[in-house]
């Protein structure tokens, strides 16, 4: 199929998100997960019993159990928690090798097998979106030292990690500071994050005090992403209007007048004027801050 | 005032986190920067996309390179209206300058050509990078999208088969500007002590 180059597309609003949460083991990822709205936990790690606020949980040992979950089965739930995504991908890998030995290589996935893993995992996430479920991917944290710094990464088998980074709309890390559990969505030197809601570092309340803490976080993330989409639309319209206006500028004076008018516009909009001027054979004199006919000596 | 490109400041950050020595950095980025065939192909892809107009393409060509799209390639690309936007901003005593591929409202898009699959290290490299941080900060945008074209070489010279297009997204966060200021300050300090850094060559 060819690549399709399309005109500025209208930004879409979202109803579901994929959220990534990672931490060292035993910090409280599962407990945090259960504070999402109407959660169902897919327990790949067999550790859900340790959560103090345990809600509906399915213990998973092979991928068939996931594949057999129907939309009806999931009807009572709004959030699907994968605990942990690293173990889930191990289980999916085993299923891929079981179904086609060509995809395995000494118990691990072959290159071709990794391709299948990526495609099946992303297609499962898409299915959850069509079922209108938010998905939380919980992951253990892995630390690797490179040069001067220690990098905190997801403890997930190599090839599939890129799929997780692509899939998640937001990603945060839980850590302990003093006696407080904290959740940080911002990327830091050495640690990963995606913070569309621009959260400051959040204190995680005890699950008894904040039984819907993660539900609120997810609601804010959706609101922020949709707000960005609304602003995107407004800015696209403004760019279109400026482009039309610039196209109709009759002469050099009009370009210079417009330059003054758009003084406070974003840099991108000013670029439209610069490009149009160049196309009309006008040059911008950086000393006089005005357009002139022909080229301007540097 | 000392100035540096976003690319060099990001390379400096990456180098600081690595175990490689200073001479290696100077050779690679300042004294004898090499243009690899992959970099040439990347520049050509940028060029092809910059000049592409609305429509469907089985192949794109520029600078003597051709990019064929695989049969199962199934992606759309919104190029936006504002392409190749030159941008610069002063951070303390350092002027940081760059050129964004696409500015579409509050989204900045950057095209990458990747020969081979997008692996975890590369994806983490994009997430860690200060390239997206500086562009969001300098352009006042909120969202950054790496558009990574995954390609393989064909038997024909300068002809690549594009198999997939990956999108890795990042967002503005509260300390974004302060982080850019801190890195710019580290770079400037190095440039004062090692004037070789001032010899950066302008990208073609």
Q: In this predicted model, what pLDDT tens digit does every residue of B57-81 receive, in sequence order?
A: 999 999 999 999 999 898 999 887 7
A34 and A104 part of one domain: yes
Q: How far is A109 from chain B (nearest CA, A)?
A: 14
Confirm whether A84 is domain-assigned: yes
Confirm whether A95 is domain-assigned: yes
A124 and A28 part of one domain: yes
Q: Which residues pair with A262 in a beta bridge?
A: none
Contacts of B124 in chain A (CB under 8 A): 151, 153, 161, 165, 192
Contacts of A241 in chain B (CB under 8 A): none
Q: Residues with Cβ < 8 Å from A281, sequence gap 6 or more? A: A293, A294
Confirm whether A219 is domain-assigned: no
Determine whether the interchain pair A166/B167 forms a contact, defined as Cβ–Cβ distance below 8 Å: yes
Flag whether residue B36 sits within 8 Å of chain A, measured between CB atoms: no
How many residue pairs bridge chain A and chain B with CB atoms within 8 Å of each other? 159
Which site among A10, A162, A198 would you substitute to test the B interface, given the most B Cβ atoms closer than 10 Å to its Cβ?
A162
Question: Which one of B75, B119, B171 has the shortest CB-CB distance to A159?
Answer: B119
DSSP state for residue B117 in the 8-state scheme: -
Q: How far is B187 from chain A (nearest CA, A)?
A: 16
For B133, name the nearest residue in chain A, comparing CA atoms only: A187
A130 and A261 part of one domain: no
Among A144, A179, A210, identify where a domain stops: A210
Determine whether the interchain pair A162/B118 forms a contact, defined as Cβ–Cβ distance below 8 Å: yes
Residue A262 sits at the vertex; the CA angle it makes with A261 and A266, to the nearest 5 degrees, is 165
Taking Cα atoms as reference points, which of A105, A66, A67, A109 lies closest to residue A90?
A109
For A231, name the nearest residue in chain B, comparing CA atoms only: B106
3 state DSSP class of A206: coil
Contacts of A200 in chain B (CB under 8 A): 174
pLDDT, residue B174, reads 97
Which site among B48, B81, B118 would you substitute to test the A interface, given the most A Cβ atoms closer than 10 Å to its Cβ?
B81
A199 and A280 part of one domain: no
Confirm whether A155 is domain-assigned: yes
CA distances, B101 to each of A36, A100, A265 (Å): 38, 42, 19
CA atoms within a 13 Å half-sphere pointing along the CA-CB vector of B173: 25
Confirm whether A4 is domain-assigned: no
Determine whether the interchain pair B122/A166 forms a contact, defined as Cβ–Cβ distance below 8 Å: no
Flag whether residue B2 sits within 8 Å of chain A, measured between CB atoms: no
**Predicted ipTM?**
0.91
Determine whether the interchain pair B123/A166 forms a contact, defined as Cβ–Cβ distance below 8 Å: yes
Q: Domain limits at A242?
A: 227-293
Contacts of A19 in chain B (CB under 8 A): none
Cα separation, B105 vs B78, in Å, equals: 12
A102 and A196 part of one domain: yes
Flag whether residue B162 sits within 8 Å of chain A, measured between CB atoms: yes
Q: Among A49-53, A187-191, A246-250, B117-121, whose mean pLDDT is lowest?
A: A49-53
Q: In this predicted model, what pLDDT tens digit does every residue of A80-102 receive, in sequence order?
A: 999 999 999 999 999 999 999 88
A121 and A251 part of one domain: no
A280 and A135 part of one domain: no
Average pLDDT score over residue span B156-172: 96
Q: Among A89-93, A274-278, B127-131, B184-188, whose mean pLDDT is lowest?
A: A274-278
Q: Is the dihedral of CA A217, A218, A219, A224 positive or negative?
A: positive
Confirm whether A279 is domain-assigned: yes
- Binning pLDDT at 50, 70 and 90, where does residue A2 land? confident
Q: Residues with Cβ < 8 Å from A293, sequence gap 6 or more? A: A252, A281, A282, A283
Q: Which residue has the higher pLDDT, A223 or A46?
A: A223
Cα separation, A194 vs A191, in Å, equals: 10
3 state DSSP class of A277: helix
Q: What is the CATH number of the domain that holds A158?
A: 3.40.50
CA distances, A163 to each of A12, A47, A174 (Å): 21, 24, 21
Flag whether residue B117 sits within 8 Å of chain A, measured between CB atoms: yes
Q: What is the mean pLDDT of chain A?
A: 90
Flag whether residue B74 sits within 8 Å of chain A, measured between CB atoms: yes
Q: What is the mean pLDDT of chain B?
A: 92
* A179-215 per-residue burial string, b: 16 or more CB within 10 A, e: under 16: eebbbbbbbeebbbbbbbbbbebeebeebeebeebbb
A100 and A39 part of one domain: yes
Among A151, A185, A210, identify where a domain stops: A210
Domain count, chain A: 2
A256 and A147 part of one domain: no
Taking Cα atoms as reference points, which of A46, A43, A47 lies closest to residue A26?
A47
DSSP string, chain A: --EEEESPPPPPP-S--EEEEEESTTSSHHHHHTTSSSEEEEESSS-GGG-TT--SEEE-SSTHHHHT--TTTTTT-SEEEEE-HHHHHHHHHHHHHHH-GGGEETTEE-HHHHHHHHHHHHHHHHHHHHTT-EEEEEEEEEEEEETTEEEEEE-S-HHHHHHHHHH-SEEEEEEEETTEEEEE-S-BTTB--B-TT---PEEPPPTTT-TTHHHHHHHHHHHHHHHHHHHHHHHHHHHHHHHHHHHT--SHHHHHHHHHHTTTS-HHHHHHHHHHHHHTTEEEETTTTEEEES----
A185 and A277 part of one domain: no
Determine whether the interchain pair A4/B77 forms a contact, defined as Cβ–Cβ distance below 8 Å: yes
Q: Are B126 and B168 in contact (CB under 8 A)?
A: yes
Structure tokens that stand for A187 in this block: 């990327």
A263 and A170 part of one domain: no
Q: How many helices (H) and strands (E) does chain A have?
A: 8, 14
Residue A135 sits at the vertex; the CA angle it makes with A15 and A85, to the nearest 5 degrees, is 155
A137 and A234 part of one domain: no
Confirm whether A3 is domain-assigned: no
pLDDT, residue B202, reads 54
Among A150, A181, A210, identify where a domain stops: A210
Confirm whether A218 is domain-assigned: no
Q: Is pLDDT at B203 greater than 50 in this prediction?
A: no
Q: Among A16-30, B83-97, B126-140, whose mean pLDDT is lowest?
A: B83-97
């Amino acid at each position: 199929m060819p690549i399709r180059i399309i005109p500025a597309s209208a930004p879409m609003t979202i109803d579901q998100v994929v959220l990534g949460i990672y931490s060292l083991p035993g910090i409280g990822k599962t407990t945090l997960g259960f504070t999402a709205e109407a959660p169902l936990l897919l327990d790949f790690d067999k550790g859900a019993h340790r959560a103090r606020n345990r809600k509906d949980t399915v213990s998973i040992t092979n991928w068939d159990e996931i594949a057999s979950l129907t939309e009806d089965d999931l009807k009572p739930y709004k959030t699907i928690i994968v605990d942990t995504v690293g173990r889930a991908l191990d289980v999916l890998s085993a299923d891929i090798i079981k179904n086609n030995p060509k995809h395995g290589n000494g118990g691990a996935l072959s290159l071709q097998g990794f391709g299948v893993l990526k495609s099946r995992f992303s297609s499962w996430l898409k299915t959850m979106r069509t079922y209108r479920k938010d998905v939380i991917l919980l992951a253990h944290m892995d630390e690797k030292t490179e040069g001067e710094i220690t990098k905190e990464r997801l403890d997930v088998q190599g090839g599939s990690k890129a799929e997780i980074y692509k899939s998640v709309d937001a990603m945060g890390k839980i850590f302990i500071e003093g006696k407080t559990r904290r959740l940080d969505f911002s990327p830091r030197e050495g640690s990963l994050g995606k913070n569309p809601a621009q959260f400051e570092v959040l204190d995680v309340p005890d699950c008894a005090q904040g039984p819907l803490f993660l539900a609120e976080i997810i609601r804010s993330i959706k609101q922020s992403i949709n707000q960005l989409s609304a602003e995107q639309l407004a800015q696209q319209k403004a760019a279109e209007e400026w482009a039309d206006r610039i196209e109709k500028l009759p002469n050099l004076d009009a370009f210079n007048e417009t330059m003054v008018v758009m003084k406070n516009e974003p840099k991108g909009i000013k670029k439209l004027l610069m490009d149009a001027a160049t196309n009309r054979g006008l040059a911008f004199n950086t000393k006089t801050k005005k357009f002139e006919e022909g080229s301007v000596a540097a | 005032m000392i100035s540096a490109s976003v690319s060099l400041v990001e390379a400096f950050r990456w180098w600081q986190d690595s175990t490689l020595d200073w001479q290696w950095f100077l050779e690679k980025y300042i004294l004898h920067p090499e243009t690899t065939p992959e970099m040439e192909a990347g520049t050509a892809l940028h060029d092809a996309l910059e000049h592409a107009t609305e429509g469907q393409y089985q192949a794109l060509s520029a600078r003597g390179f051709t990019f064929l799209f695989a049969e199962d390639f199934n992606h759309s690309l919104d190029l936006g209206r504002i392409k190749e936007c030159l941008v610069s901003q002063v951070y303390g005593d350092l002027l940081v300058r760059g050129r964004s591929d696409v500015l579409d409202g509050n989204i900045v898009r950057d095209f990458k050509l990747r020969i081979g699959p997008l692996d975890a290290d590369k994806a983490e490299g994009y997430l860690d990078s200060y390239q997206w941080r500086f562009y969001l900060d300098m352009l006042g945008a909120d969202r950054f999208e790496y558009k990574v074209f995954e390609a393989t070489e064909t038997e024909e010279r300068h002809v690549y088969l594009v198999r997939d297009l990956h999108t890795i997204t990042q967002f503005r966060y509260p300390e974004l500007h302060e982080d850019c200021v801190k890195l710019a300050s580290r770079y400037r300090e190095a440039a004062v002590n090692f004037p070789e850094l001032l010899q950066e060559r302008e990208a073609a």
